[in-house]
Amino acid sequence: MVTFKKKAPGPQNAALERSLPEPGRMDAALTDALMKRRTAYDFSDEPISDEHLSTILWAADGLNGKTHRDDHRTTPTALNWREIETYVVKANGVWLWNPLSCSLVFVHDHDRRRDMCLLQPLVRQAPVHLVYVFNKEKTQGFATDLAHSIVKYTKSERIATLAEEVSERSPLIDTGAKVMAVYLACAALGINCMARQTFESARVSKALLLKDAQTPICIQTLGYKPRGILDLAF
């Protein structure tokens, strides 16, 4: 068990949420996890347990502060924007990971896993897809406002260009950090995992009911290793 990870949900979290168990410990040595990290191309269709899902989501974007009041995260984001949201697409519907309460916020109850894939048939019925979504609305805050003020005050095109470049690069790099954290967690837990760019952005956005300010950046498909040919998700 990992302690000090759960915060009481605030009054703003009135949405329908399903609590996940506390994330479990991953005791694999970092060297061993890095040695085992692989992209897998086959997945059992067996559902991922809530314990494993909670642990993997915690690795992607979980609380690791020293106290209940400290909402420090397992993965970094530029300017601490926390602009990458993790959606969970499963047979029982679409959910949004809430790191503060270690829970899944209900989006809808349709199985949209097929919309997450293009060609790879073995990926299609994998039990879980994590979709990393850039939410532009979250790239606000003190540091961003300060940068805008500097640009406005100095009227410097160079600073404006630099600020623009930072905003463009950050969601991609911040997503990469989560992808790697999940690859390592999966390696430690013995779960198959594949990062994917092969998806249709418009189809994924529709399936996840995303707003205009939200863009899917990457999908990570998860599933247990198939135990035999009949365990493969055809």
Ligand X SMILES: Cc1cc2nc3c(=O)[nH]c(=O)nc-3n(C[C@H](O)[C@H](O)[C@H](O)COP(=O)(O)O)c2cc1C
Candidate list 4, 39, 71, 156; residue touching ligand X; CB under 6 A: 39
Q: Please report, as residue ranges, which positions from 182 to 221 form the binding site for ligand X (by CB under 6 A).
A: 194-198, 218
Distance of closest approach, residue 181 Cβ to ligand X, in angstroms = 12
Q: Please report, as residue ranges, which positions from 144 to 183 form the binding site for ligand X (by CB under 6 A).
A: 179
Phi, psi of 97 (to 5 degrees): -70, 130
**In angstroms, how far is CA 30 from the centroid of its own chain?**
21
3-state secondary structure of 88: strand
**Residues 170, 81 contacting (CB under 8 angstroms):** yes
As given in the structure block, the two tokens for residue 131 are 């979709």
Distance of closest approach, residue 120 Cβ to ligand X, in angstroms = 7
Candidate list 18, 25, 38, 110; residue touching ligand X; CB under 6 A: 38
Q: Which is nearer to ligand X, 149 or 198 (CB)?
A: 198
Helices 157-189/50-61 angle, 10° precision: 150
134 forms beta bridges with: 84, 215
Q: Count residues binding ligand X (CB under 6 A).
A: 9
CA distance 155 to 85: 33
Distance of closest approach, residue 217 Cβ to ligand X, in angstroms = 9
Q: Which is nearer to ligand X, 210 or 218 (CB)?
A: 218
Which residues here bind ligand X, judged by CB under 6 A?
A: 38-39, 179, 194-198, 218
